């Protein structure tokens, strides 16, 4: 640093870099030809294809050290490299123009058109970027001389004097501030900042309502019809001519209410007589039709896969497996509880209805569940 202090910074309009010994030139400028010729070390030993030039620049990147050789050793090779770089840059330019042309020429607005547009825009963009990258690499490797520079490192720790001086400054400042001397200021400042820090947290309170046991209940009530999810029509027990597949049902009136569906979605499965066994609550079944919550007791994914031959309900997220004819008990996986069973009944028109809400909270565990 002290060395640099003797070096005046470049002045506007000054003949920067004309003096050979001192690096007066302005940042970003190439070294002037005169300086180069006087300082260049061993023009024969280095070059783009030659061995690396080893130069010790001393401290901080070599102030006033020997100048590196600039010109490549083999002008013919360099010329070829130059042409390759320029060709790649032109290719990139053409690709960018192609990108703009594709943007203007290929409208979006249908799936096929979008895929064509994506192909054209993406290809043009790929070429535009890769060509610049490839050109720059050839430029560095074939045209710039292959130099190797050594820079000294110094221990990162400051000298003892510097540390001592800092400590003194710090203590002096602390004393000037009277922070140590006047504890009442210190303590009241801390007392002031604590509630100041808590206040913003309190502000977050209105981000949502309190739970109020809402997770314990769903919208199912005595007499709520079961709608087949999708077509959203009610279903009669007689419509199941053969036992088999799993049907997703939702409470009537809530088929588009995602908050309600997040807890109330259920599944019904029809069995052959005698297949359903305890711990299934048989009195909650209608004509061998059983209804379970679809919300997995692990982390709440819909348990939607059903293996008809083995009567297993599988949650596709984490593979909790439930035994459909035996109260949806857990056969495998991370779910801790069976899927809750919904009591079923038939209303006056013969449609399947709920005979009340689930008798336990559905879905994943939560602290207040108990």
Residues 291, 312: Cα–Cα separation, whole Å: 14
- Is residue 227 reached through a cis peptide bond, with omega within 30 degrees of 0 on the bond before it? no
Smallest distance, other proteins to C-beta of residue 44, A: 21
Q: Using an 8 Å Cβ cutoff, are 95 and 131 in contact?
A: yes
Residues 303, 364: Cα–Cα separation, whole Å: 12
* Given 73, 78, 84, 121, the residue binding other proteins (CB under 8 A): 121
| Encoded tokens for 220 | 């199912």
Q: Considering the rule CB under 8 A, would residue 9 count as an interface residue with other proteins?
A: yes
Smallest distance, other proteins to C-beta of residue 233, A: 16
Q: Using an 8 Å Cβ cutoff, are 264 and 302 in contact?
A: no
Please list the residues that pair with 323 across neighbouring strands: 312, 329
- Of the candidate spans 171-179, 237-245, 302-310, 340-348, the one that interacts with other proteins by CB under 8 A turns out to be 302-310
Following DSSP, what letter does each residue of 253-312 receive, concatenated? T-TT-HHHHHHH-EEEEE--TTT--TTS-GGG-BTTEEEEE-B-TTT--B--EEETTTTE
Smallest distance, other proteins to C-beta of residue 177, A: 28
Please list the residues that pair with 53 across neighbouring strands: 147
Which of positions 228-287 make contact with other proteins (CB under 8 A)?
229, 248, 250, 256, 258-259, 261-263, 265
Smallest distance, other proteins to C-beta of residue 356, A: 21
- Of the candidate spans 74-82, 160-168, 192-200, 207-215, the one that interacts with other proteins by CB under 8 A turns out to be 207-215
**245 to each of 68, 178, 271, 307, 321, how far by Cα in Å?**
80, 80, 9, 8, 16
Q: Considering the rule CB under 8 A, would residue 298 count as an interface residue with other proteins?
A: yes
Instruction: Give residues with Cβ within 8 angstroms of 173, minimum separation 6.
Output: none
- Of the candidate spans 22-30, 40-48, 165-173, 270-278, the one that interacts with other proteins by CB under 8 A turns out to be 22-30
Smallest distance, other proteins to C-beta of residue 256, A: 6
Helix (H) or strand (E) holding 119: helix 111-138
Q: Considering the rule CB under 8 A, would residue 91 count as an interface residue with other proteins?
A: no
* Given 76, 197, 202, 210, the residue binding other proteins (CB under 8 A): 210
Binding pattern for the stretch 313-352 against other proteins, x by CB under 8 A and - elsewhere:
---xxxxxx--------x-xxxxxx---------------
Smallest distance, other proteins to C-beta of residue 258, A: 5
Q: Considering the rule CB under 8 A, would residue 300 count as an interface residue with other proteins?
A: yes
Q: Considering the rule CB under 8 A, would residue 97 count as an interface residue with other proteins?
A: no
**41 to each of 55, 64, 67, 121, 243, how far by Cα in Å?**
9, 13, 7, 49, 92
Residue closer to other proteins by CB (options 7, 178) is: 7
| Encoded tokens for 69 | 């050789």
* Given 2, 6, 21, 27, the residue binding other proteins (CB under 8 A): 27
* Given 22, 79, 90, 126, the residue binding other proteins (CB under 8 A): 126
Which of positions 164-203 make contact with other proteins (CB under 8 A)?
none
Closest CA to 292 of 273, 271, 317: 271
Residue closer to other proteins by CB (options 359, 365) is: 365
Smallest distance, other proteins to C-beta of residue 213, A: 9
Which of positions 31-60 make contact with other proteins (CB under 8 A)?
32-33, 54, 57, 60
**If 0-12 CB within 10 Å is exposed, 13-18 middle and 19+ buried, where does residue 364 land?**
middle
* Given 90, 97, 114, 174, the residue binding other proteins (CB under 8 A): 114
């Amino acid at each position: 640093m002290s060395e640099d202090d003797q070096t005046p910074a470049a002045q506007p309009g000054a003949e920067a870099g004309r003096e050979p010994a001192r690096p007066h030139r302005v940042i970003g400028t190439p070294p002037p030809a005169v300086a180069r010729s006087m300082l260049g070390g061993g023009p024969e030993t280095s070059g783009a294809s030659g061995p690396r030039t080893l130069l010790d620049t001393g401290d901080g990147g070599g102030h006033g050290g020997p100048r590196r050789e600039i010109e490549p050793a083999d002008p013919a090779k360099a010329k070829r490299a130059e042409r390759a770089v320029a060709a790649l840059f032109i290719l990139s330019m053409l690709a960018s123009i192609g990108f703009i042309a594709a943007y203007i020429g290929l409208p979006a607005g249908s799936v096929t058109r979008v895929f064509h547009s994506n192909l054209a825009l993406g290809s043009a963009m790929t070429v535009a970027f890769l060509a610049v990258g490839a050109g720059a690499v050839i430029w560095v490797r074939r045209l710039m001389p292959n130099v190797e520079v050594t820079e000294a490192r110094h221990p990162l720790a400051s000298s003892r004097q510097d540390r001592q001086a800092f400590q003194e400054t710090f203590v002096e400042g602390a004393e000037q501030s009277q922070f140590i001397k006047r504890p009442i200021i210190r303590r009241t400042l801390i007392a002031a900042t604590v509630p100041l820090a808590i206040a913003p947290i309190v502000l977050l309170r209105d981000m949502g309502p309190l739970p109020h046991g809402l997770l314990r209940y769903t919208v199912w009530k005595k007499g709520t019809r079961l709608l087949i999810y999708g077509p959203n029509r009610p279903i009669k027990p007689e419509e199941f001519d053969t036992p088999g597949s799993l049907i997703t049902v939702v409470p009537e009136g809530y088929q588009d209410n995602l908050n309600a569906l997040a807890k109330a979605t259920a599944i019904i499965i029809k069995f052959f007589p005698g297949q359903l066994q305890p711990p299934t609550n048989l009195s909650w079944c209608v004509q061998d039709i059983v209804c379970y919550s679809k919300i997995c007791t692990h982390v709440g994914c819909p348990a939607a896969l059903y293996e008809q031959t083995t009567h297993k309900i599988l949650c596709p997220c984490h593979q909790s497996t439930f035994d459909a004819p035996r109260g949806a008990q857990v056969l495998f996986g991370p779910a801790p509880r069976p899927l809750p069973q919904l009591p079923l009944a038939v209303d006056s028109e013969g449609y399947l209805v709920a005979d009340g809400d689930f008798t336990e909270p559905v879905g994943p565990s939560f602290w207040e569940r108990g």
